[in-house]
């Protein structure tokens, strides 16, 4: 019995170490990422220890200390440092490029709504060094880099990259629990 208990303690310590260093678990709160993610979804993140360079298209979790007391927010990376971002709010199109004269419209099949709401940030803008520009997939119901309270996210505020949805939420009962949503998040 003592031998088994010894092995179980070592196994639990190894699992804890892996989850403390390599992975994190986060629960989605809010509707800003609908229909990609729902309120109540349980996500597995690749920790920022191993994920330090966000790329456009990545779904990330960040904690901005001066926004909601540092509560985790889930957003999609749209542009990285040095890139330019412009938004045509009348047509709902987001443009990204390496210089302000050569920006291309993003193809965004993951969005629930077009980007038609201006939130106070002036465009076009260049993403500062060490920062990223993020948007929620549900653009009509997302506080993101368009809003001065969030603005550009410092890469040090990124907790990790979302890699897997392992327990689906229901958007506070709005949708049935869909187990077929379990899997890799794109």
Q: Which residues are catalytic?
A: 32, 75
Instruction: Give the CA distances from residue 89 to residues 114, 123, 140, in Å, rounded to whole numbers and listed in that order.
Output: 9, 10, 12
- Nearest Cα neighbor of 87 from 117, 110, 128 is 117
In SS3 terms, 73-130 reads as EEEEEEEECCCEEEEECCCCEEEEECCCCCCEECCCCCCCECCCCCCCCCCCEECCCC
């Amino acid at each position: 019995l003592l031998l088994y208990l010894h092995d179980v303690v070592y196994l639990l310590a190894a699992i804890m170490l892996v989850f403390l260093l390599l992975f994190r678990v986060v629960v989605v709160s809010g509707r800003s990422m609908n229909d990609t993610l729902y309120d109540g979804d349980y996500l597995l993140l690749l920790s920022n220890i191993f994920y330090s360079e966000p790329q456009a298209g990545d779904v990330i979790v960040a904690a901005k200390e001066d926004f909601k007391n540092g509560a985790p927010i889930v957003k999609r990376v749209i542009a990285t440092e040095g890139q330019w971002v412009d938004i045509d709010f009348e047509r709902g199109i987001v443009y990204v490029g390496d210089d302000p004269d050569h920006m291309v419209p993003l193809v965004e099949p993951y969005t629930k709504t077009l980007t038609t709401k201006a939130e106070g940030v002036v465009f076009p803008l260049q993403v500062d060094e060490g920062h990223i520009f993020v948007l929620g997939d549900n653009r009509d119901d997302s506080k993101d880099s368009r809003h001065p309270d969030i603005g550009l996210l410092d890469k040090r505020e990124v907790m990790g990259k979302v890699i897997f949805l392992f327990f689906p939420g229901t958007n506070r009962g709005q949708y049935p629990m869909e187990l077929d949503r379990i899997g890799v998040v794109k």
